[in-house]
Amino acid sequence: MQPRIISREEHGISRRQISPNALNTLYRLHEGGFVAYLVGGCVRDLLLGRTPKDFDIVTDAAPGQIKRLFRNARIIGRRFRLVHLHFQDEILEVSTFRASAPAGEEEGEEEDGDGKPPLHLKDATGMVLRDNVFGTPKEDALRRDFTINALAWNIADFSVIDYTNGMMDLNQRIIRPIGDPEVRFTEDPVRMIRAVRFAASHDFEIETEAWEALLRLAPTIVRAAPARLYEEALKLFLLGSARAVFDGLEKTGLLAALFPPLGRWLAADGDLSAALRENMENIDRLRLKGLPPSPPLLLAMLFGPPLEAEAVARHREGIPYLQALDEICLAFLEELAKTVTVPGRIGGQMRRIFSLQPSLHRIPPRRPAALAARPEFSDAMTYLIFTTKTTEENRKSREWWKAFINNPDAPLPEAANATAASPVRSKRRKKRKRRTRTGSAENGPFEAAQ
Ligand code: ATP
Ligand code: MG
């Protein structure tokens, strides 16, 4: 099969849109006698007039040959060896054309240990590259996940090379796996999440056959490594389309498969879905305002309402609230770890967002300066504002804290003054100064919630 070549006059990619580092790298490879393309998401996004997240390059130069051309090159990867070029403000990934790996050996997956000997290849230096399966440009395109992600931009003549009808799907805004969707989602279940992510972030439709395969295979997402699924989950929700991603995951059954406790809560409480959707809209709003939400805040917004409700229920049975909350969060994180491993530090920060809530609700608060100096204060305040926007009680807490933060030198209300001893007051000023200097989210929660 010959690729469709779309000449520079027929597509909208201009060299001005490409990072100068990437462009220079492509030229250097080309002048060195190698084939060199931009590939993947950056070509897709350039064609759509969006700013690419990163620029990936493929070439027929082997890693050793790339290393000899660039002083800032580092060969990385245990399984598939590729090269990172380190620039002051950017790291570029340069990989050698690659053929598809056998099932279970896609990026990020653990070796399946079936005892087959890995494919050995030697690079230009004669070094054996374990698990490296170099391929042709065509094989490199066909191993990719979706047609819109398989387009390449050729430095030799500035054309776009299209082996999979990706351009047509791009124009029609369709996410279509390359090959049989069932096979491709089985080879690497993370592709299902990627389909939902791209559909949400780019406002594309998942092609019908792929959609049906997704519905059937959603429960198999648990085959992917839990640590990889945590990283994917962050990409799903923190890049500005959390609300649309939530809808897509819910519709496909991926949400319940990824987060089994959440699946149970949603099944038991008909109002929860709408509340969480609103929370995800607020996560998107933060990003839009230039205040990227932290992973612990995201987790709190995604799982907090039912976790807190459960803690309140246990408290009614006589267990101290904070103790109930801690136990419930720990049990939840432990169950979640079977599918999605939240790192311990992040789980701890999520718990502290919840456990700070009672202190923030108390008006006037005890030792407000000490509370404001806590590392989770900003996230906890944002959580309070977003999850409890409507009630009168919360409005009071919000106003109180807003005044406190914006006006550190104003006299505090009586009760608070009595508890905020002078050393703490001076600490608060110090904290405020530091935060202002670093332009942190000190006012973030309040601004974001407007
Ligand atoms: P983003 O804008 O989120 O970075 P992207 O398409 O560039 O989107 P990356 O994760 O950076 O996504 O991957 C780069 C390219 O590698 C993809 O465009 C795709 O061609 C290929 N790719 C990534 N993950 C997979 C996968 N699981 N299976 C097959 N190909 C993949
Ligand atoms: Mg990318």
User: Which is more confidently placed, 437 or 342?
Assistant: 342
Q: Indicate the number of domains in the chain.
A: 3
24 with 107, same domain: the answer is no
147 shares a domain with 106: no
Same domain, 76 and 6: yes
CATH assignment at residue 64: 3.30.460.10
Dump pLDDT digits (tens) for 307-318: 999 999 999 999
Q: Can you give the pLDDT at residue 412? A: 57
CA of 41 to the centre of ligand 1 (A): 6
Residue 64 domain-assigned? yes
Nearest CA to ligand 1 atom 15: 40
Q: 113: domain range?
A: 100-130
* Residue 345, domain member (yes or no): no
Q: Do 60 and 152 reside in the same domain of the chain?
A: yes
Phi, psi torsion values for 332, nearest 5 degrees:
-65, -50
388 — pLDDT class (breaks 50, 70, 90): confident
Among residues 172, 200, 225, the one where a domain terminates is 172
Please report the pLDDT score of residue 408 as a whole number.
Answer: 62
Asked whether residue 70 falls in the same domain as residue 155, the answer is yes
The one catalytic residue among 45, 60, 123, 145: 145
Both 115 and 166 in one domain: the answer is no
pLDDT at 325: 97
pLDDT in tens, 33-48: 999 999 999 999 999 9
Q: Do residues 72 and 88 share a domain? A: yes
* Cα–Cα distance, 44 to 246 (Å, whole number): 23
Instruction: Indicate whether 356 belongs to any domain.
Output: no
Residue 398 lies in a domain: yes
Among residues 74, 109, 130, the one where a domain terminates is: 130
Residue 40 CA: which ligand 1 atom is closest? 18
Mean pLDDT of the chain: 86
* CA 157 to the chain's CA centroid: 34
pLDDT, tens digit (0-9, with 9 covering 90-100), for 310-341: 999 999 999 999 999 999 999 999 999 999 99
Residues with CB under 5 A from ligand 2 (ion): 41, 54
Q: Are 73 and 92 in contact (CB under 8 A)?
A: no
Tell me the CA distances in angstroms from 361 to 62, 303, 367, 385, 391, one per residue in order: 60, 20, 13, 11, 12
Q: Are residues 154 and 120 in the same domain?
A: no
Residue 107 in this model has a pLDDT that exceeds 70:
no
Q: Which residue in 303, 298, 272 sits closest to 285, CA to CA? A: 298
Query: First CA to last CA across the chain, in angstroms?
Result: 55
- 31 shares its domain with 148: yes
Whether 377 maps to a domain, the answer reads no
- Please state which of the ranges 25-29, 144-148, 394-398 shows the lowest mean pLDDT: 394-398
Domain assignment present for residue 280? The answer is no
Q: What residues contact residue 251 under an 8 Å CB cut-off, 6+ apart?
A: none
Mutate to test the pocket of ligand 1, among 80, 96, 144, 201 (most ligand atoms within 8 A of CB): 144
Average the pLDDT over 46-68 and give the result: 95
Distance 157 CA to ligand 1 centre (A): 24
Q: Which two tokens stand for residue 72?
A: 């800032």
Q: Compute how many other C-beta atoms are within 10 angstroms of the C-beta atom of residue 112.
A: 11
Mean pLDDT confidence for 94-102: 84
**pLDDT band at residue 401 using 50, 70 and 90 as cut-offs:** confident
- Note whether 95 and 105 are same-domain residues: no
Ligand 1 contacts (CB < 6 A) are: 40-41, 53-54, 56, 106-107, 144-145, 149-150, 188, 190-191
3-state class (DSSP) for residue 225: coil
Do 18 and 138 belong to one domain?
yes
Residue nearest to ligand 1 atom 8, measured at CA: 41
The answer to whether residues 17 and 118 belong to one domain is: no
Does residue 230 lie within any of the structural domains?
A: no
Ligand number nearest to the C-alpha of 144:
1
Distance CA 245, CA 239 (A): 10
Share of the chain above pLDDT 70, in %: 82
What value does the CA radius of gyration of the chain take, rounded to a whole number of Å? Answer: 25
Mean pLDDT calculated for residue range 428-446: 43
